[in-house]
Amino acid sequence: MIPLGGLGEFGMNCMALRWQDDIIVIDAGLMFPEEELLGVDIVVPDISYLIENRSKVKAILLTHGHEDHIGGLPWILSELNVPVYGTEFTLAYVEGKLEEHRLLDNADLIEMLPGKRFTLGPFSIMPIRVTHSLVDCVALAIHTPVGVVLHTGDFKVDLSPPDGKPFDLHAFAELGKQGVLCLLQDSTNVDRPGYTPSERAVRPRLDEIFAQTKKKLFFSCFSSSIHRIRVAMELAHKHGRKVAIIGRSLDNSTEIAQDLGYLDLPQGLIINPGQIRDQAPDKVCIMISGTQGEPMSALSRAAVNNHKFAHIDAGDTVLLSSRVIPGNEKGIYRMIDHLERRDAKVIHDDGTAGLIHVSGHGSQEELRLMINLVRPKFFIPVHGDYRHLKRHAELAAGMGIVEKVILLEDGDVLEFDKNTAVKNGKVTTGRVCIDSGGSIDVVEDVVIRDRQHLSEDGIVLPIIAINKRTGRVENTPEIVMRGFAIQDDKLVNDARNIVQKTLDNSSAEEKADYAIIKEKIRNDLKRYIQKQTSRRPLIMPVIMEI
């Protein structure tokens, strides 16, 4: 077993299982970049190990359709074209993603059904229905020649979800009776005591908000929260409000959910965004994307009155039915400030007056329940920062059921037989930074270093005109500075003189070789600027041929 991502960070979930010459991969997620990764759109796992063993990779199995589990697929499939297995809803999301990257025509997407076993080489895989904040999610019970490896995927134990497809406790109990070699369990909410409430728990408070709202109601949640969208639509219908959907991701999700039967909407409930202004304010609910304050999302644009259809007026209510993802606080609170300036009533994290959001991940008691049900020989916490994995390992060890708890990190190789599990070496892992402007462009570390460098110390461009024929410098060097804090005339003049001096001390042959002359100018200027200002701007000499 080799984790390639997701053990030591949130996101980038990707796990390889290998028996002799057969490898299957569980999930292919992405991660959104931290602040210091300037200009990077997404981060995906380094799959060097899979590329080196290209001929052995049989398939990718997806537990569900969230970005941290399917977002890296375009990148991985552009390197390795292998079959992808997922549930119906998960594959609907995957199709849209692959179409965007022009990879759909060559992709081999195979549907798996909860409770229906299928075989891939030496592995026999049984998908088991679990509940989460998205629909159609599964855990994977993988029967290998040495025993059953059970991967929970993301889950919480919800026995009354809005779609009527509850968590399959019975299947896990059956597995427990047969014996489970190893359990890999989601660590996201290991810090939270008790149980995670059911998706239905948000209904009373949301009902209250719908009843109390006098004007337009703007409802924002994660576009993948199909249960939440369903509850909002049902409440809108109950309170006599028409629903307009604004935002590409939300539009896309509701369309897929309707096609696959997860949303059964009354005739005439949905209106076109262009029809909002024809409705009385108390007769409309606007489902809008942008709950995390993303700069170009529909809600962020509406907050600064820059959206064609979504106009927020004084007295309107904006409900953010989601949690704040760590790292997004600034953007969200900036957006809330703009909404407050428009005199809108903003309801976000109001934990005191009832629930407007529940998590999709199991809390401590559910994690204990799962360990109790399946009683594995070995236990490995997955999905989370190291501190979450460690706490989860302690929780499992404290129960006295598991024979051995193993803390793995990305790249560790864990070897099993029927009785033992031993770490044996490491493979190359890490993260690959991608600028995804339509095509998939990998951003090298050196590029990020340059971007950081530019953001801190700016750039200096010495511009020199050289006569190609004679090798003579035709005029005084120009110095252009951008983003460089210290820009007094003396510094610019001195820099000009230094460039001139470098040129004067160079032979005609050196001047004719632009690579050499650029390097000489860069070194001399760097030394001078560093000595004078203690700064290290990026220096890029530009030579113009005349």
> Which residues partner with 443 through β-bridges?
433
Is 435 annotated in some ligand binding site? yes
Highest mean pLDDT: which of 26-35, 36-45, 112-121, 468-477? 112-121
Average pLDDT over residues 378-404: 96
Q: How far is CA 133 from CA 223, 343, 413, in A?
A: 11, 31, 31
* Same fold: 2-195+359-441 with 199-350: no
Point out the least confidently predicted range of 1-15, 121-135, 355-369, 439-453: 439-453
46, 136, 168, 186: the active-site residue: 186
Predicted local distance difference test score (pLDDT) of residue 455: 75
pLDDT tens-digit series, residues 34-58: 666 666 778 899 999 999 999 999 9
Is 69 annotated in some ligand binding site? yes
Please say if 186 is a catalytic residue. Answer: yes
User: Looking at the predicted structure, is the pLDDT value of residue 327 above 80?
Assistant: no
Domain positions in the chain are: 2-195+359-441, 199-350, 458-545
The three-class DSSP label of residue 541 is: coil
338, 361, 388, 392: the active-site residue: 361
pLDDT tens-digit series, residues 141-185: 999 999 999 999 999 999 999 889 999 999 999 999 999 999 999
Given the candidates 3.40.50.1820, 3.10.20.580, 3.40.50.11540, 1.10.1740.110, the CATH classification of the domain at 458-545 is 3.10.20.580
- Spatial distance between the Cα atoms of 73 and 65, rounded to a whole number of angstroms: 11
Is 438 annotated in some ligand binding site? no
Q: Are strands 118-120 and 317-320 parallel, antiparallel or unpaired?
A: unpaired
- Spatial distance between the Cα atoms of 216 and 126, rounded to a whole number of angstroms: 47
Which fold, 199-350?
A: Rossmann fold (3.40.50)
pLDDT tens-digit series, residues 63-97: 999 999 999 999 999 999 999 999 999 999 999 99
pLDDT tens-digit series, residues 179-200: 999 999 999 999 999 999 999 9
Q: What is the mean pLDDT of the chain?
A: 91
Average pLDDT over residues 105-133: 97
Residue entry with tokens 């190291």: 386
Is 151 annotated in some ligand binding site? no
Is 542 annotated in some ligand binding site? no
**CATH architecture of the region 2-195+359-441:** 4-Layer Sandwich (3.60)
Please say if 237 is a catalytic residue. Answer: no
441 pLDDT band, cuts 50/70/90, is low
pTM for the model:
0.83
